[in-house]
Chains A and B, each alone.
Chain A
Amino acid sequence: MKPNSSLHHKVEPRYRQPIPVCHDLSLARELVGLHDSGALWWPDEKTLVVSDLHLEKAASIAKRKGLMLPPYDSAVTLEKLASLIDSFNPRRVICLGDSFHDIESSRNMPAAYLAMLTTMQLGREWIWITGNHDPEIAEHVWGERYDELSINSLSFRHEPKEGAERGEICGHLHPAAKVRRIGRTIRRACFATDGKRLVLPAFGALTGGLNVMDKAFSEVFDARRFSVYMLGNGRLFPFTAAKLLNE
């Protein structure tokens, strides 16, 4: 898509039909597509990958801290996922961990949300990779559980593993990047990759981001030798790490 050259700010419906066009990336001899929603599309395997849904996060915070955030985050996340599934029609969906904000979230998720989830799962393979927030997922939630999983030359796990491994796809870190332009800074969630490993942005509605320049990323990528793809509206914005700002 051609970047919008007009300086005028267009308002589009937030969940417009996603255009199944992605930014192509080659990773361990596989061709994958980065989508502006923060999902990964693997066309050869007809597989859709999303990370860090953090379903029921608001409810969990209300319970633990008494901060009453809008109880609609699960609905927003699930609607966004459903519309992606509609347009890509994947054979397999992989959720890369931290799909539920805590262990009780999957147990206590309201029936309406569970129904939404089950509808999406119909007719396709569904894989839950476990994460630090959801080492266990309640039994009545359908889908296979794996701590990690390899398909062809790609491997899927929640947290990046020590020692660079080719073709690792993970989440956990909620990467976000910050750039400066005409005196304004812009911060967005992003994909981050060094060509060997790819970290997906968090997909959930109330999930914040961690700046990729933070030291937590120094164990994942060699300093400054990686690129990010910041999420935009209908396109992604690539930057090398050298162009990015610290928090």
Chain B
Amino acid sequence: MADTSHLPAAFNSWFESRGWAPRTHQMELFAKVSAGNSALLIAPTGGGKTLAGFLPSLVDLSLRNVGDTSKSNKQATSGSGRLHTLYMSPLKALASDIHRNLEVPIEEMGLSIKLETRSGDTPSHKKQRQKRIPPDILLTTPEQISLLLSDANCERLFADLQFVILDELHELVTSKRGDLLALALTRLRKLAPNLRCIGLSATIAHPDDLRAYLVAQPLSQKVELAALVQAKGGAKPHITILETQERLPWSGHSCIYALPEIYEEIKAHQTTLVFVNTRSQAERLFQELWRINDETLPIAIHHGSLDVSQRRKVEAHMAAGKLKAVVCTSSLDLGIDWGDIDLVINVGAPKGASRLAQRIGRANHRMNEASKAILVPSNRFEVLECQVALEASEAGQQDTPPLRDGGLDVLAQHIMCVACAAPFAPDQLYEEVISSQTYRYLEYELFLKTVEFVATGGYTLKTYEKYAKLRPTKDGRLRLSHPQFAQQYRLNSGTILDAATLKVRQVKPRGANSRRPLGFGGKMLGEIEEWFIEQLVVGDTFIFAGQTLRFEGLKESEAYVSRSSSSDPKIPTYQGGKFPLSTYLADGVRSLISDPHTWSDLPGQVHEWLTMQRNKSQLPEYDRLLVETFPRNEKHYLVCYPFEGRLVHQTLGMLLTRRLERAGLHPLGFVATEYSLALWGLRDMGLAIQRGTLRLDELFEEDMLGDDLEAWLAESSLMKRTFRNCAMISGLVERRHPGKEKTGRQITINTDLIYNVLHEHEPDHLLLQATWTDAATGLLDISRLGHFLTRIDKRITHSALSQVSPLSVPVLLEIGKEPIFGSASDALLADAADDLILEAQL
């Protein structure tokens, strides 16, 4: 039982009236924060994390308002008019849930605390009012805080700020939003010296990273840490891998084979959460489950693209215990009372040990009961991955990524933000910036270059001095040269660019040749990424919100669809939540495969498969790379097993193709999976290796990350996409507001063209540096590829075979299923054009 004597009477009696008692970690956090510290709370799901985070703030506010009793009643109910607490979460939906959940205790305890949310959707008159008369507690997002900081009155607005509560901090810090937030915190600390930060996080591998993130860092090498409160973990979860009676698929991700077994589990339990990795898998699985749902069990779907009202409906039914199962992605989040979930089914590969633990935690409604989870691997390799994840979970291992270094593009945006509020002195701003853990190693030179970039573009050719956005004042500070740039900043700030989405609205279908305009006012189904919609032509079908839809056309920022009865829909392929295999799990899988003594827990079919591999070829050894070569259908194949995730394999495939081409072996293409990579060509690569004309040590030599990588990247579309993000975040180009473009001949400036020009003429430019850093850690994951090449340097085993090996079957089955990565668009165009020529001759 926790010591609650420090809580005001109103709080204690409220807890009692509910039949609750504050938990130990809630009181511990309260004590540490009340003593004036920033703190990090690590607690599993269902641990009352959010309430714990708000407790110090609510208590402080209640005490403060007691002293204000002399004021009129009206004023009391409308808050103090001073901003006291900020709450930030990665999801704006979460903010509105918290709002609802907090209102109840505030009302029941009779506290006069005003609570409001603010997001991109908040009407502008309300935003204006919030700036003049802020609520006591504002629930918002990092982007909104930056916008408020760019206001000339921000000093007054934040002067009285006491607490910042950062929910799901482990999620926030892994992206550029985390960088933006880190910079905003440095500003807030300056404006509100009493500020205390409270971070709330799931279990992670390196808690000290987050503890350092929450407080200002000194100029010395010393690392300051926020206080740490760790909730006691609940009972160990009970995890199993589905023991299927069916044949385990070689490849694919659909898990259709296990449908009847999943259905039986749903029937046998009270309420089941079925987790999948992508939204498209969610749609697919949901459809398939309903196909066999003979008992019409109430099964629902929930993912981040669905309309809020749809999601709310599912959540309400769930809380009321009306649902038997929900198929969902990781978007389904906490802070929501989920009723009695007694089973979590994870469909597909877990991808990371911590990720799995967080998902399983969803079933852990009462902390001291063991949660129950079943893993359903969708193919044979995933069985291995599930096995490793299961062992990691039992051992309590974590594999969350370390804290990232702050991006220069985000820094550029922040500099602009600061300049919009007031003139600034560069050296003072520099000290402020490096007080964040994320930017503490930023060099002064680089900072000045970033300022220069904001002012004039930072080019060697100094042609834009006369148009500079920042100009020096007499006292050596920098000020905005024209108010229009502040306006421009506010329209274009933010960091999440991949989320450019279009609303999906259901309308009545149109006849094939109807010229009738599209109808208005249909039901809103949700949002889909813009690039997915761009791929569609009118008449295309796809699965969304659990139904097959026909694309009817685009109108402003909305995609119009109608119901379709098509039996062969194009499934949305949007990437939402596609995670690479964590290094930790990859390591485990390599270790598991290499040692037959550890196979005893594996299903018979997988055991058999690996044994066959051992007999027909050989097993990949833990610290070596296995390369197999064999002929098939008049082509020659080279398959290797790095286990480093699809992204790394794609980059590797691209670089190996270049080298094979140079060796005169005429590679034709390659395809990559999470675990392996297959290349093929017309020449016998196995023979070349045996004769010594192709040396594997040289082929996989680390220097491929030099010129070859450089040359390929210059043309790579991934690099261009990364550049596009950096260009928009840094303010080099204006952000596209989907659907808001002027019609007709409005031509947006194409960032690919800018990239080409810049790469040609100033390859060392700041923005190309930022792009490179992003690519190295993000889309291309070059640093991981580098580690891999070092690991296997001169440790390559060649197995020359006369036919396909058992282990290579999964990757070979992928050929033809998806576009062959690396096929240059010129080659595709040539194919398309040649098809046309053939047609013409027929």
Q: Shortest Cβ distance from A33 into chain B, in angstroms?
A: 18
Are A9 and B715 also in contact (CB < 8 A) when A70-B758, A70-B761, A238-B836 are?
yes
Task: Select the stretch in A134-142, A148-156, A229-237 that faces chain B.
Answer: A229-237
Whole-angstrom CA separation of A214 from B747 in the bound complex: 12
Find residues 222-247 in chain A having any chain B CB closer than 8 Å to their own CB: 230, 232-233, 235, 237-240, 243, 245-247
B832 touches A239 (CB 8 A): yes
A68 touches B745 (CB 8 A): no
Contact indicator per residue, chain B 725-766, by CB within 8 Å of chain A (1) or not (0): 000000111100000000011011110011011101110010
B748 touches A10 (CB 8 A): no
Task: Select the stretch in A42-50, A58-66, A162-170 that faces chain B.
Answer: A58-66
Are A245 and B484 also in contact (CB < 8 A) when A67-B733, A208-B749 are?
no
Q: Which residues of A contact B395 (CB under 8 A)?
A: none
Q: Which residues of A contact B753 (CB under 8 A)?
A: 205-208
Find residues 684-717 in chain B having any chain A CB closer than 8 Å to their own CB: 711-712, 714-715
Contact indicator per residue, chain B 798-835, by CB within 8 Å of chain A (1) or not (0): 00000000000000000000111011111111111110
Contact indicator per residue, chain B 453-496, by CB within 8 Å of chain A (1) or not (0): 10011110101100101000000000000101100100000000
A11 touches B836 (CB 8 A): no
Q: Shortest Cβ distance from A38 into chain B, in angstroms?
A: 13
A182 touches B762 (CB 8 A): no
Contact among B463, B464, B666, B757 with A76 in the assembled complex (CB-CB below 8 Å): B757
Task: Select the stretch in B97-105, B151-159, B653-661 that faces chain A.
Answer: B653-661
A72 touches B760 (CB 8 A): yes
Q: Which residues of B contact A4 (CB under 8 A)?
A: 824, 826-827, 830
Q: Which residues of A contact B669 (CB under 8 A)?
A: 7-8
Q: Which residues of A contact B733 (CB under 8 A)?
A: 67, 69
A31: interface (CB < 8 Å)? no
Q: Shortest Cβ distance from B180 into chain A, in angstroms?
A: 21
Are A71 and B461 also in contact (CB < 8 A) when A4-B826, A8-B824, A11-B715 are?
yes
B668 touches A6 (CB 8 A): yes
A20: interface (CB < 8 Å)? no
Count of chain A residues with Cβ under 8 Å from any Cβ of B? 58
Q: Which residues of A contact B457 (CB under 8 A)?
A: 62, 68-71
Contact among B711, B758, B822 with A72 in the assembled complex (CB-CB below 8 Å): B758
Q: Shortest Cβ distance from A72 into chain B, in angstroms?
A: 4
B445: interface (CB < 8 Å)? no
A246 touches B464 (CB 8 A): no
Q: Which residues of A contact B657 (CB under 8 A)?
A: 8-9
Max count, chain B CB within 10 A of own CB: residue among A3, A71, A180, A186: A71
Find residues 546-593 in chain B having any chain A CB closer than 8 Å to their own CB: 573
Whole-angstrom CA separation of A230 from B825 in the bound complex: 12
Are A184 and B829 also in contact (CB < 8 A) when A8-B658, A9-B654 are?
no
A8 touches B748 (CB 8 A): no
Contact among A67, A179, A205, A230 with B757 in the assembled complex (CB-CB below 8 Å): A205
Find residues 180-237 in chain A having any chain B CB closer than 8 Å to their own CB: 180-186, 188, 205-210, 214-216, 230, 232-233, 235, 237
B2: interface (CB < 8 Å)? no
A75 touches B822 (CB 8 A): no
Whole-angstrom CA separation of A215 from B746 in the bound complex: 12
Max count, chain A CB within 10 A of own CB: residue among B456, B757, B820, B832: B757
Q: Which residues of A contact B714 (CB under 8 A)?
A: 11
B667: interface (CB < 8 Å)? yes
Q: Shortest Cβ distance from B397 into chain A, in angstroms?
A: 38
Whole-angstrom CA separation of A73 from B668 in the bound complex: 36
Whole-angstrom CA separation of A54 from B666 in the bound complex: 41
Q: Shortest Cβ distance from A6 into chain B, in angstroms?
A: 7
Main secondary structure of the interface of A (DSSP, over half): loop
B535: interface (CB < 8 Å)? yes
Contact indicator per residue, chain A 12-44, by CB within 8 Å of chain B (1) or not (0): 001000000000000000000000000000000
Whole-angstrom CA separation of A70 from B461 in the bound complex: 9
Whole-angstrom CA separation of A68 from B733 in the bound complex: 8
Are A185 and B534 also in contact (CB < 8 A) when A71-B457, A72-B762, A206-B754 are?
yes
Q: Which residues of A contact B464 (CB under 8 A)?
A: 59, 62, 68, 71
Q: Shortest Cβ distance from A70 into chain B, in angstroms?
A: 5
Q: Shortest Cβ distance from B335 into chain A, in angstroms?
A: 38
Q: Which residues of B contact A185 (CB under 8 A)?
A: 534-535
Contact count band on B: 35 or more
B448: interface (CB < 8 Å)? no
Max count, chain B CB within 10 A of own CB: residue among A8, A75, A232: A8
B537 touches A245 (CB 8 A): yes
Q: Which residues of B contact A207 (CB under 8 A)?
A: 747, 753
Q: Which residues of B contact A67 (CB under 8 A)?
A: 731-734, 749
B461 touches A72 (CB 8 A): yes
- Closest residue to A209 on the B side, CB-wise? B747
Q: Which residues of A contact B820 (CB under 8 A)?
A: 7, 182
- Closest residue to A3 on the B side, CB-wise? B830
Whole-angstrom CA separation of A233 from B829 in the bound complex: 11
Q: Shortest Cβ distance from B467 into chain A, in angstroms?
A: 5
Whole-angstrom CA separation of A110 from B464 in the bound complex: 12
Whole-angstrom CA separation of A3 from B761 in the bound complex: 30
Whole-angstrom CA separation of A66 from B833 in the bound complex: 42
- Closest residue to A205 on the B side, CB-wise? B757
Q: Which residues of B contact A237 (CB under 8 A)?
A: 829-830, 832-833
Q: Which residues of A contact B832 (CB under 8 A)?
A: 179, 181, 237, 239, 243
B456 touches A68 (CB 8 A): yes
A5: interface (CB < 8 Å)? yes
- Closest residue to A242 on the B side, CB-wise? B836
Q: Shortest Cβ distance from B662 into chain A, in angstroms?
A: 10
Whole-angstrom CA separation of A239 from B839 in the bound complex: 12
Are A70 and B754 also in contact (CB < 8 A) when A3-B830, A7-B822, A11-B712 are?
yes
Q: Shortest Cβ distance from A190 into chain B, in angstroms?
A: 11
B762 touches A70 (CB 8 A): yes
Whole-angstrom CA separation of A184 from B822 in the bound complex: 12
A61 touches B654 (CB 8 A): no
- Closest residue to A245 on the B side, CB-wise? B537
Q: Which residues of A contact B747 (CB under 8 A)?
A: 174, 207-210
Max count, chain A CB within 10 A of own CB: residue among B464, B535, B829: B829
Whole-angstrom CA separation of A71 from B465 in the bound complex: 12
Q: Which residues of B contact A66 (CB under 8 A)?
A: 467, 469, 482, 484-485, 488
B829 touches A179 (CB 8 A): yes
Interface positions of B (Cβ within 8 A of A): 453, 456-459, 461, 463-464, 467, 469, 482, 484-485, 488, 534-535, 537-538, 573, 654, 657-658, 661, 666-669, 711-712, 714-715, 731-734, 744-745, 747-750, 753-754, 756-758, 760-762, 765, 818-820, 822-834, 836
18 contacts between A and B (CB under 8 A): A6-B666, A8-B658, A62-B464, A66-B488, A69-B754, A70-B761, A72-B461, A73-B757, A76-B756, A76-B757, A179-B832, A181-B832, A184-B825, A188-B829, A206-B749, A207-B753, A214-B744, A216-B744
**What are the 7 tightest A-B residue pairs by CB atom distance, in nearest-first order?**
A68-B457, A3-B830, A72-B761, A208-B747, A9-B824, A7-B669, A7-B823
Interface positions of A (Cβ within 8 A of B): 3-11, 14, 59, 61-63, 65-73, 75-76, 110, 173-174, 179-186, 188, 205-210, 214-216, 230, 232-233, 235, 237-240, 243, 245-247
Besides A4-B827, A62-B463, 20 new A-B residue pairs in contact (Cβ under 8 A), listed by A number: A3-B826, A3-B830, A6-B666, A7-B668, A9-B654, A10-B824, A11-B712, A65-B488, A67-B734, A68-B453, A70-B762, A76-B761, A183-B819, A205-B753, A206-B753, A208-B747, A215-B744, A216-B744, A216-B745, A243-B832
